[in-house]
């Protein structure tokens, strides 16, 4: 089998490229050229037969990812599958299965078979439960076997923390942090390395990893094990050292025609976001950038969908291509269905706002239509255009105005109503 990148380098336009071009209102030739350069990825595992392909990267609409999955304390497969269907209905372009307990293979199989959205996983989360072994006893071969199992199942992109090598660890140890390593996958690998006094297996055996990805056309999402978990740790030596390593690994992946995304922070002050986006693009050769948030203040548990949407809008406007949603439950619990919905809406708003700022073709048309409907006091059209129609209609229903063409904020003093009459 060939990968999307291998086909693109030959100038061959695949069906996935045609679909992406149609969704983006761009030419298949332009999409093909960007895939060949690595500035756009189309995560599309050859075994994910229900997938509706999406492009992530340069000149394309900002995409969003929804995290879900089973944990030991919340192991309700049916609830997580309800979340999956809701995320698909809400048009999330990607879903990451972060399951780390129980029948992960069963859930992953059902997820992939029902999902038109691209699917991502972190095989490191699954390794301990899947192998039923202590972390320190897992072998390199077993780590790679778990990766191949996920690839065989049809996972489109995988987070692998290959940049957390011994050199990065040395920088981490020399430069003390407030929150140490907050990446779950990164902390597990750090522990394995320390307990076994060995190099990161995914770094040491990176070529073997690439062979698996190329076989199934899995996009490699190079994880940021040293992402900052607090504003105090943002843009520090460990984070930057890891980013340098990820840039080097990107070139190695491209040589084997494996598509690459780079994962980014994390918790970052507003004034450092633009610099972080620039660093990633420079150091990682303009590979698509996938960011968690970023969260712009540490003080708002219960409202981190807002803190991350603020950061996400700035990040995407400054060059990030893919936003991982954050819910109100971040730092507190596994998200409920309602938490997930709020996280999706907040992140979609951030992505759309950024697309307008980036000048993505057609992005501002949606807003213009809404503005025209507001001026015309065309409530049915406003609801059709609303990013969350259900909430908009509920708010309107809960507070009925005397004048049906206005709302209870202004009533007969509604400026739209007044100007329409006068003009």
Angle (nearest 5°) at CA 243 between 241 and 247 = 120
Return all residues near 103 (Cβ < 8 A) that are at least 6 apart: 70, 77
Contact between 225 and 183 (Cβ < 8 Å) = yes
Q: Is 32 annotated as a binding residue?
A: no
Q: Which residue has the tokens 């307008």?
A: 356
Q: Is 284 annotated as a binding residue?
A: no
What Cα–Cα distance (Å) separates residue 85 from each residue in 88, 95, 98, 322, 348?
5, 10, 16, 21, 17
Q: Which residue has the tokens 């380098």?
A: 9
Q: Is 171 annotated as a binding residue?
A: no
Q: Is 186 annotated as a binding residue?
A: no
Q: Is 150 annotated as a binding residue?
A: no
The end-to-end CA distance of the chain, in Å, is: 64
Q: Which residue has the tokens 């509604």?
A: 414
Q: Is 74 annotated as a binding residue?
A: no
What Cα–Cα distance (Å) separates residue 212 from each residue in 17, 144, 205, 221, 226?
22, 8, 11, 14, 25
Q: Is 1 annotated as a binding residue?
A: no
Q: Is 183 annotated as a binding residue?
A: yes
Q: Is 308 annotated as a binding residue?
A: no
Q: Considering only CA atoms, which of 354, 423, 344 is closest in space to residue 60? A: 354
b/e map 90-124, b = 16+ CB within 10 Å: bebbbbbbbbbbeebeebbeebbeebebbbbbbbb
Q: Is 399 annotated as a binding residue?
A: no
Q: Is 414 annotated as a binding residue?
A: yes
Q: Is 161 annotated as a binding residue?
A: yes
Q: Is 227 annotated as a binding residue?
A: yes
Please tell me the distance from the alpha carbon of residue 103 to that of residue 89, in angstroms, as a whole number. 25
Q: Is 96 annotated as a binding residue?
A: yes
Widest pairwise Cα distance in the chain: 79
DSSP 8-state class, residue 137:
G
Q: Is 125 annotated as a binding residue?
A: yes
Q: Is 410 annotated as a binding residue?
A: yes
Please tell me the distance from the alpha carbon of residue 181 to that of residue 192, in angstroms, as a whole number. 14
Return all residues near 283 (Cβ < 8 A) that are at least 6 apart: 243, 244, 246, 247
Q: Is 263 annotated as a binding residue?
A: yes
Q: Is 185 annotated as a binding residue?
A: yes
Question: Residue ranges for the binding site?
Answer: 67, 96, 125, 161, 183-185, 224-227, 263, 267, 290, 331, 407, 410, 414
User: Which residue numbers belong to the known binding site for substrate?
Assistant: 67, 96, 125, 161, 183-185, 224-227, 263, 290
Output the known binding site for Zn(2+): 267, 331
Q: Which residues are annotated binding-site positions for [4Fe-4S] cluster?
A: 407, 410, 414
């Amino acid at each position: 089998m060939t990968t999307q990148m291998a086909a693109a380098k030959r100038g061959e336009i695949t069906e996935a490229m045609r679909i992406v071009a149609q969704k983006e209102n761009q030419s298949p030739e332009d999409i093909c050229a960007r895939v060949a350069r690595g500035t756009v990825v189309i995560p599309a595992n050859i075994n994910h037969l229900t997938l509706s392909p999406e492009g992530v990267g340069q000149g394309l609409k900002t995409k969003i990812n929804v995290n879900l999955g089973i944990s030991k304390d919340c192991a309700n497969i049916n609830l997580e599958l309800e979340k999956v269907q809701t995320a698909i209905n809400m048009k999330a372009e990607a879903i990451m299965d972060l399951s780390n307990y129980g029948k992960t293979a069963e859930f992953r199989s059902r997820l992939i078979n029902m999902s038109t959205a691209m699917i991502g996983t972190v095989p490191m989360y699954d390794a301990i439960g899947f192998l039923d072994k202590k972390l320190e006893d897992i072998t390199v071969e077993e780590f790679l076997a778990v990766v191949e199992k996920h690839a065989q199942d049809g996972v489109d992109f995988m987070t692998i923390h290959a940049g957390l090598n011994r050199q990065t660890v040395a920088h981490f140890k020399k430069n003390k942090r407030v929150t140490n390593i907050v990446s779950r996958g990164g902390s597990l690998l750090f522990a394995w390395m320390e307990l076994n006094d060995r190099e990161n297996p995914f770094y040491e055996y990176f070529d073997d990893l690439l062979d698996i990805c190329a076989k199934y056309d899995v996009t490699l999402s190079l994880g940021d094990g040293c992402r900052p978990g607090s504003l105090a740790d943002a843009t520090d030596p460990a984070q930057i050292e890891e980013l340098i390593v990820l840039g080097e690994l990107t070139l190695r992946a491209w040589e084997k025609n494996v598509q690459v995304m780079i994962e980014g922070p994390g918790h970052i002050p507003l004034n450092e976001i633009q610099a972080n986006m620039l660093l990633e693009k420079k150091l990682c050769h303009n590979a698509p950038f996938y960011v968690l948030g970023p969260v712009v203040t540490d003080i708002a548990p219960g409202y981190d969908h807002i803190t991350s949407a603020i950061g996400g809008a700035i990040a995407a406007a400054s060059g990030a291509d893919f936003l991982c949603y954050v819910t109100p439950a971040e730092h507190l619990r596994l998200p409920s269905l309602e938490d997930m919905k709020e996280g999706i809406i907040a992140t979609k708003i951030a992505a759309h706002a950024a697309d307008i700022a980036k000048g993505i073709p057609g992005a501002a048309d949606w807003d213009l239509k809404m503005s025209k409907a507001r001026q015309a006091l065309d409530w049915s059209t406003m609801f059709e255009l609303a990013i969350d129609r259900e909430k908009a209609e509920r708010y309107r229903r809960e507070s009925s105005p005397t004048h049906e063409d206005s709302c209870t904020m202004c009533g007969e003093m509604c400026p739209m109503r007044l100007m329409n009459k006068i003009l």
